[in-house]
C-alpha cells in the first residue's frame, strides 16, 4: 500500500553506503538519540552492515518533550535507557509501503508497537512518522516526532495497592520530617507494580526492599515511572531507589527481577524484603507563574516584556492563570520592526499580545482535547491541537508546547516555541484611528475615552478584569469620523488593573487601565 505522508525535511549528510548508525550520526536533528545510543552501547549493533533493522528515530525536539526524564534515562544506560531504545527497533526492513492500519509490530524490547494510518499520516503508537524510508545498508530509518515509551515490564504483573490504601505518599511535616510507610506482613514478588498517589512536588522520596524476611534473595530492578505521562523518572538495579518528584502526578514503583524486562519473571520466590516508602527534606514551595518565567534562563525576553507592560504584579496575584510562555528563541523569530512597535506601546500593543498568552484558570495538558477552544484574557480565543504533540494558536500562528505543566502556586506555565499573535491585532488599523486617549488613568470614578476616527466605523468598548471576566460592555454603534468621546463609570468596580478592549470595525485595540480607591 502506497502511503501519502506529510514529510518534514531533516538534514543528513550525503554519504553513500551508510549504516543506520551512520545515518543517525549524520543527522543534525538526532544528537540526543546519538548520545543515548552511545551511552547504551548499541552503536556497534546498529553499525553492523550484516544486520537488518527498522529504527524509529525520535528527533531532539521529541526528546525535549520528556523534560528531566531524559537525564534520568541517560543515567541508567543499562536499564531504562536500553529498554526504551530497543522499543524503537524492529527486526527486518519495514518500509512505509509495508505498513498497514492496525498492524502490531514486535520490537527488540519484547513489546509491540501499533501502526495507525489516518488521513495519509502514519502513527507509531502516538508518534507521527515525519521522515519515512531513509534507507540504509542494514535496514531503514523512519523519523518520528515523539519518543516511544514501553510499559516498562508491567505487562501481566499484579497491582498491589497498599500505598493507595495507606493514603499515598508521605509528606514532610513543618520540620521536614517524614513518616515511614512500611508493610512487614508480606514480601514482594519478582514482578509487581505499586501505584503511589498524593506525590508532593519537590520532595525527595526513597523506596526500599532492603529489609525484612527474604531481603536480597534475588536481584531486583526498581523503576519509578510517571503514570500520567509514562516517562521514566528513575531506575536502578538494587534494593532501594531515591528520586525527587518533579510533579504531583501519581507514580508507579515497578519491581522486576534483573534481566526479565519485557516478560514476567518465573521466579517463584515470594519473599524479597518488606516494601517501605519515606521522604526527606522540606517541600519546595511553588512560585508564581511570574517566578517560573523569571527563574527560567530561556525566558529573559518574556520576563522583560511582562515587566515593561506592568503585568508582573497582576500575574503574581491569586489567579489562577495559565500562561503560554514563548522562549527567547521564539522571540528571535519575530522581526525587529514588530518588536519595536510592541515595546513602544507597552500598555497597548504589548499588553494586547501578552494577554493573548494568558488563559483564566489552571489548564493542564491532561485537561485538553483536540479542537478545544479557550478564551484568553485578551478576549480572543486560542485553539488546541492534541496528538503526538500539543499545539496552541489560531489560523495565523500555531505554537508547539515544548515544556508542559510547569505548576505554579497560582496556575501553570506551558513553554511554547512561537509567539502567538491575536488575529485582531493590526498595527495599520491602530494608526488609522488618528488618536486614542484614555484619561484620567488611573481613576476612581470614570474614564474618558476619546477615539479620533479617520473614517466612520462601528465602535464598542469592553472592560475586562485580568482573570478574563467582562465587567462592563458599551456598544457605541456607528460613529462618524473625527473625535468621539465616551464616559465609562467605574465607581462600582474594585481596585485593580483592567483591560479596555476597544473594537473599531473588525479590529481591536487593547490597553491596560487602573481603578484605584
Q: Identify the band that residue 186 occupies on the pLDDT scale cut at 50, 70 and 90.
A: low
- Greatest mean pLDDT among 8-17, 199-208, 300-309 lies in 300-309
The alpha carbon dihedral of 316, 297, 305, 354 has a sign of negative
Of 53-57, 80-84, 173-177, 300-304, the least confident: 173-177
Cell numbers that stand for 100 in this block: 498497514
Phi, psi of 470 (to 5 degrees): -80, 115
CA distance 256 to 196: 17
Cell numbers that stand for 115 in this block: 501502526
What is the chain's percent helix, strand, coil content, to nearest 5?
20, 35, 45
Strand partners, 253: 194, 224
Most distant CA pair in the chain, distance: 89
Cell numbers that stand for 258 in this block: 534483573
Contact yes or no for 19/138 (Cβ under 8 A): yes
Burial class (CB in 10 A: 0-12, 13-18, 19+), 371: exposed
Q: Residue holding cell 491575536?
A: 422
Query: How many other C-beta atoms can be found within 10 angstroms of the C-beta atom of residue 179?
Result: 13
What pLDDT score was predicted for residue 487? 93
What pLDDT score was predicted for residue 140? 94
The crossing angle, in degrees rounded to 10, of helices 300-308 and 336-344 is: 30
Mean pLDDT of all residues in 78-88: 81
Q: Identify the band that residue 388 occupies on the pLDDT scale cut at 50, 70 and 90.
A: confident
Predicted confidence (pLDDT) at residue 203 exceeds the cutoff of 50: yes
Predicted confidence (pLDDT) at residue 348 exceeds the cutoff of 50: yes
Q: In what order do the strands lie in the sheet with 482-489?
A: 435-439, 446-453, 482-489
Is 263 or 119 the better-scoring residue by pLDDT? 119
CA distance 170 to 277: 8
- Greatest mean pLDDT among 84-98, 101-115, 167-181 lies in 84-98
What pLDDT score was predicted for residue 8? 38
Contact yes or no for 418/397 (Cβ under 8 A): yes
Domains of the chain with CATH codes: 20-144 (2.30.180.10), 158-280 (2.60.120.380), 289-416 (2.30.180.10), 427-515 (2.60.40.1930)
Among candidate residues 277, 5, 47, the one with its CA nearest the CA of residue 142: 5
Contact yes or no for 53/88 (Cβ under 8 A): no
Long-range contacts of 108-116 (CB under 8 A, 24+ apart): 108/53, 109/83, 109/84, 109/150, 109/261, 109/262, 110/86, 110/261, 110/262, 110/263, 111/87, 111/150, 111/151, 111/155, 111/262, 113/56, 113/87, 113/148
- What is the rounded average pLDDT for all residues in the chain? 81
Q: Residue holding cell 523503576?
A: 223
Cα 376 → chain centroid: 19
What pLDDT score was predicted for residue 226? 75
Burial class (CB in 10 A: 0-12, 13-18, 19+), 477: exposed
- Greatest mean pLDDT among 33-37, 108-112, 270-274, 361-365 lies in 33-37
What pLDDT score was predicted for residue 68? 61
At 100-139, the pLDDT tens digits run 888 888 888 767 888 998 878 899 987 899 999 999 999 9
The single-letter DSSP state of residue 96 is G
The single-letter DSSP state of residue 146 is S
At 456-500, the pLDDT tens digits run 888 899 888 766 678 899 999 898 888 889 999 999 898 877 878
Strands (E) located in 203-258: 204-208, 220-226, 232-237, 240-244, 251-257
- Greatest mean pLDDT among 222-236, 294-308, 393-407, 454-468 lies in 294-308
Cell numbers that stand for 72 in this block: 534520568
CA distance 376 to 374: 6
Mean pLDDT of all residues in 337-346: 80
Instruction: Using CA atoms of 216, 221, 224, 227 in order, give the dihedral in degrees to the nearest 10.
Output: -120
Q: Is 110 left (phi over 0), alpha (psi -120 to 50) or beta?
A: left
CA distance 428 to 14: 46
Reduced to 3 states, what is the DSSP secondary structure of residue 193?
Answer: strand
Contact yes or no for 235/78 (Cβ under 8 A): no
Q: Identify the band that residue 305 occupies on the pLDDT scale cut at 50, 70 and 90.
A: very high
Q: Are β-strands 191-196 and 158-159 bridged in parallel, bridged antiparallel, or unpaired?
A: parallel
At 8-42, the pLDDT tens digits run 334 443 344 589 999 999 999 999 999 999 998 89
Q: Identify the band that residue 426 occupies on the pLDDT scale cut at 50, 70 and 90.
A: very low
Please report the DSSP string for 424-443 in residue order: T--HHHHHHT-EEEEESSSB
Strand partners, 385: 391
Predicted confidence (pLDDT) at residue 516 exceeds the cutoff of 80: yes
Q: Identify the band that residue 434 occupies on the pLDDT scale cut at 50, 70 and 90.
A: low
Among candidate residues 119, 132, 147, 125, the one with its CA nearest the CA of residue 61: 147
Q: How far is CA 422 from CA 20, 76, 285, 470, in A?
A: 44, 44, 34, 18
What pLDDT score was predicted for residue 161? 53
Is 280 or 435 the better-scoring residue by pLDDT? 280
- Greatest mean pLDDT among 12-26, 322-336, 339-353 lies in 322-336
Amino acid at each position: 500500500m502506497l502511503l501519502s505522508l506529510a514529510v518534514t525535511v531533516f538534514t543528513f549528510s550525503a554519504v553513500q553506503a551508510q549504516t543506520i548508525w551512520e545515518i543517525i550520526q549524520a543527522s543534525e536533528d538526532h544528537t540526543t538519540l546519538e548520545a543515548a545510543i552511545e551511552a547504551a552501547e548499541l552503536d556497534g549493533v546498529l553499525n553492523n552492515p550484516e544486520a537488518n533493522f527498522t529504527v524509529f528515530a525520535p528527533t531532539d525536539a521529541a526528546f525535549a518533550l520528556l523534560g528531566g526524564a531524559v537525564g534520568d534515562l541517560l543515567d541508567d544506560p543499562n536499564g531504562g535507557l536500553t529498554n526504551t531504545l530497543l522499543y524503537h527497533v524492529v527486526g527486518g526492513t519495514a518500509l512505509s509501503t509495508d505498513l498497514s492500519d492496525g498492524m502490531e509490530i514486535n520490537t527488540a524490547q519484547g513489546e509491540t508497537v501499533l501502526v495507525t494510518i489516518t488521513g495519509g499520516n502514519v502513527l507509531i503508537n502516538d508518534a507521527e512518522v515525519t521522515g519515512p524510508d531513509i534507507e540504509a545498508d542494514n535496514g531503514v530509518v523512519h523519523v518520528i516526532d515523539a519518543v516511544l515509551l514501553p510499559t516498562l515490564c508491567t505487562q501481566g504483573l499484579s497491582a498491589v495497592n497498599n500505598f493507595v490504601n495507606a493514603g499515598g505518599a508521605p509528606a514532610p511535616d513543618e520540620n521536614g520530617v517524614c513518616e515511614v510507610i512500611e508493610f512487614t506482613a508480606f514480601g514482594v514478588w519478582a514482578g509487581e507494580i505499586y501505584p503511589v498517589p498524593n506525590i508532593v512536588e519537590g520532595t525527595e522520596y526513597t523506596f526500599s526492599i532492603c529489609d525484612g524476611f527474604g531481603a536480597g534473595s534475588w536481584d531486583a530492578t526498581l523503576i519509578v515511572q510517571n503514570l500520567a505521562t509514562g516517562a521514566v523518572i528513575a531506575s536502578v538495579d538494587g534494593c532501594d531507589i531515591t528520586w525527587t518528584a518533579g510533579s504531583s502526578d501519581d507514580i508507579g514503583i515497578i519491581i522486576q527481577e534483573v534481566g526479565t524486562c519485557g516478560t514476567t519473571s518465573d521466579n517463584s520466590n515470594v519473599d524479597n524484603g518488606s516494601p517501605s516508602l519515606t521522604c526527606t527534606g522540606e517541600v519546595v514551595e511553588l512560585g508564581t507563574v511570574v517566578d517560573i518565567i523569571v527563574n527560567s534562563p530561556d525566558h529573559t525576553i518574556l520576563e522583560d516584556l511582562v515587566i515593561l507592560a506592568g503585568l508582573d504584579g497582576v500575574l503574581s496575584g491569586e489567579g489562577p492563570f495559565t500562561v503560554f510562555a514563548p522562549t527567547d528563541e521564539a522571540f528571535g523569530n519575530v522581526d525587529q520592526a514588530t518588536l519595536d512597535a510592541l515595546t513602544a506601546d507597552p500598555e497597548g500593543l504589548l499588553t494586547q499580545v501578552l494577554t493573548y498568552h494568558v488563559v483564566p484558570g489552571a489548564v493542564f495538558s491532561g485537561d485538553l482535547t483536540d479542537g478545544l477552544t479557550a478564551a484568553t484574557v485578551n478576549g480572543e480565543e486560542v485553539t488546541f491541537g492534541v496528538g503526538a504533540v500539543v499545539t496552541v494558536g489560531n489560523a495565523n500562528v500555531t505554537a508547539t508546547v515544548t515544556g508542559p505543566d510547569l505548576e505554579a502556586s497560582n496556575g501553570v506555565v506551558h513553554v511554547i516555541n512561537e509567539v502567538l499573535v491575536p488575529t485582531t491585532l493590526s498595527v495599520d488599523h491602530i494608526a488609522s484611528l488618528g488618536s486614542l486617549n484614555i484619561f484620567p488613568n488611573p481613576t476612581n470614578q470614570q474614564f474618558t475615552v476619546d477615539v479620533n476616527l479617520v473614517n466612520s466605523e462601528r465602535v464598542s468598548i469592553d472592560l475586562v478584569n485580568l482573570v478574563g471576566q467582562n465587567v462592563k460592555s458599551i456598544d457605541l454603534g456607528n460613529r462618524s469620523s473625527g473625535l468621539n468621546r465616551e464616559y465609562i463609570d467605574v465607581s462600582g468596580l474594585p481596585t485593580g488593573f483592567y483591560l479596555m478592549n476597544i473594537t473599531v470595525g473588525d479590529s481591536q485595540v487593547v490597553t491596560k487601565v487602573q481603578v484605584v480607591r
